[in-house]
Structure 1
Amino acid sequence: MKVLIVCTNHNTYPTKTGKTGLWLSELTHFYDLMTARRVLVDIVSPNGGAIPVDERSMDLKDEINQKYLTDPVFLSKFENSLKPSDIEAREYRLIYFTGGNGGMWDFPDNTELQNITRRIYENNGMVTAVCHGVSGLLNVQLSDGNFLIQDKYVTGFSHVEETLMSFVSEVPFHLEDRLKERGAHYTKAMIPFVEFIEMDERLITGQNPNSARKVASKALEELFEK
C-alpha cells in the first residue's frame, strides 16, 4: 500500500523576515505512524526538490522530529521530493497535505495536485490534510464539477489560532473563511491548539499541528480495518 504526502516549497512572508515552509511535526508524526504499519510513503511538492521547514517548528525536544532528522531514508525523500508530474495517482490509496503557512501560497492553485487528489478520491482512495494543508483542498473539483469539500464536514487552522500565532496579517487569506465560502461545514475545537479532527466518509482533516498524529491513526484505521 502506498500513500502520498504533499509538502510546500514556499518559504517567504510578505513582510516578516523569518522563514516559513512546512510545519515539521505535521510531516514527521504522520510519516512515523504510516511507516510503523509498513505503508510505503512518497513525498511530493509543487516544484519537487528540497522542502523548506518553518523555523518555528524546528522542535528537537520532539523525539519524532529528532528521529527523522537523522534518518537517511526519510532525509533522502525529504531533500529530493517528487514533482507532481512524477506521480501516477492510481498507485496511491491516500493523499495527505501537510501544513505550515507556506502551503497557503503554493497549494490552492496547483492544478496538478488538484488532479492527483481528484483521481485518488474518485478511485475510492482517501484524502487527508492538516492545519494550513487543508488549503490544498479548496479548489479540488470532482469529475461532476462539484468541489470536493462542498457540503462536507472539515476542519483546518482556525482564525483564532492564526491570530494567537501573530501571523494573521502575513497569510494570503483566512483558511476558516475560505472553507466556509466554498460550502464546507467548518468545525473546530472549543479550545485553540488542542487535537481535533473531522471525518466525512473518505475525507479526514485535522485542525492544527497537534492533530497530525490523529489524522494518521484515523486514516490507518480506515485503510486496514474496514
Structure 2
Amino acid sequence: MTKRILNVVTNVGHYDDPSHKTGLWLSELTHSWEVFDSNGFEQTLVSPQGGAVPLEPRSLKFPNYDKTAKAWRSDPTRMALLEATESPDLVDAADYDAIFFTGGHAVMYDFPDSEGLQRITREIFERGGIVASVCHGYCGLLETKLSNGNYLIAGRRLTGFAWFEEKLARVDKLVPYNAEERAKERGALYEKATLPFVSYAVVDGNLVTGQNPGSAKETAKKVANLLL
C-alpha cells in the first residue's frame, strides 16, 4: 500500500503588525516534499482554513531560496496546490499514515487553535501513525490533547525553532509568544542543537520533529524511515 502524507501549511500572511509579512517558509515544504516524493509517498496539502497559502518573503531570498524552492515556484501545477489546499473538515485522518507540520512564523497564529488539525493529529497519533513537524511547525502540536486529556507532547522529546534563534532572526519582538517556552510548559522535553540554525531532528516513538528550516530534509528522512 502506498503511504500517504498530509502536509500542513498556513493561511496567515502577516504578524500582528500587518506591515510585517510572513507565511509559509517554502523550503520547509519543498525539502520534505522532495524526500517523500522520492519514496513514492502520496501527498496532500491541508491548511487551517483551506484555500490559499501566502509565502514568507524571507524564504524567497538567498540563501533560503534554493533549487527546490525555485523549482516549485516555476511549476504552475505545484503553485496551484498552494492556492487550493484542503480544509481539515474534509480530511479523514484514517486516509493518512503521517501528518507533517511545516513552518514559517505565520503558523504561530493559525496552527495551535485549529480543532480540525488537532482532531486529525490525535487520530493519526493514537493509531500509531507518524506526527511530525519542522521549525515553527511544532506550534501545531502545542494545544493538541490525546483522548485521555493529556497533551500529546507531554513527556516526549521534541525540538522546534529555539528562542535564541528567534533573537538571532530579529523577530523576537514580533512573534506572539515564545514557542519553546510554551512547549516546555506543556511538559515537552525540549531539545536543541548546540549551534543555532544547523540541522537537528529528534525521534521519540512516532513523534518526529526538526528544529529549523535547515532541518526539513533530515526530519522528512526520519519520517520516511519509520514508514518504509
Tell me the TM-score range normalised by the shorter chain.
Answer: over 0.9
Tell whether 2:194 aligns with 1:218: no
TM-superposition CA deviations, 1:179-217 (whole Å, max 9, x none) = 110001000001000000111000000000000000100
Pairwise CA distance, 1:154: 0.6
Aligned residue identity for 2:70 = Q
Unaligned 5+ segments in structure 2 are: none
Structure 1, 108-117 or 58-67: larger mean CA deviation: 58-67
Q: How far off is 1:11 after superposition?
A: 1.1
Task: Give the aligned CA root-mean-square deviation in angstroms.
Answer: 1.2
1:3 has 2:39 as partner? no
Does the Cα contact within 8 Å between 2:16 and 2:176 map onto a contact in 1?
no
Q: Distance in 1 between matches of 2:91 and 2:180?
A: 29
**C-alpha contact (below 8 Å) 1:95/1:117 kept by paired residues:** yes
More moved, 57-66 vs 135-144: 57-66
In the alignment, the residues of structure 2 paired with residue 86 and residue 72 of structure 1 have an alpha-carbon distance, to the nearest angstrom, of: 24
The percentage of aligned residue pairs carrying the same residue is 43
Q: CA deviation at 1:138?
A: 0.6
* 2:157 counterpart residue number: 153
Unaligned runs of 5+ in 1: none
Query: How many Å separate the matches in 1 of 2:40 and 2:77?
Result: 14
Equivalences for residues 1-226 of structure 1 within 5 A:
1-15=3-17, 17-59=19-61, 61-224=65-228
Count of residues paired in the alignment: 224
Instruction: State how far apart, in whole Å, the 2-side matches of 1:85 and 1:6 are.
Output: 13
Normalising by the residue count of structure 2, what TM-score does the alignment of the two structures yield?
0.95
> 2:74 and 2:117 mapped to 1: Cα distance?
29
Post-superposition Cα deviations, 1:137-158, rounded to whole Å, max 9, x if no partner, equal: 0111111111110000010100
CA deviations over 1:80-119 (Å, ceiling 9, x no partner): 1111111010000000000000000001111110000001
CA contact (8 A) 1:59 1:65 kept: no
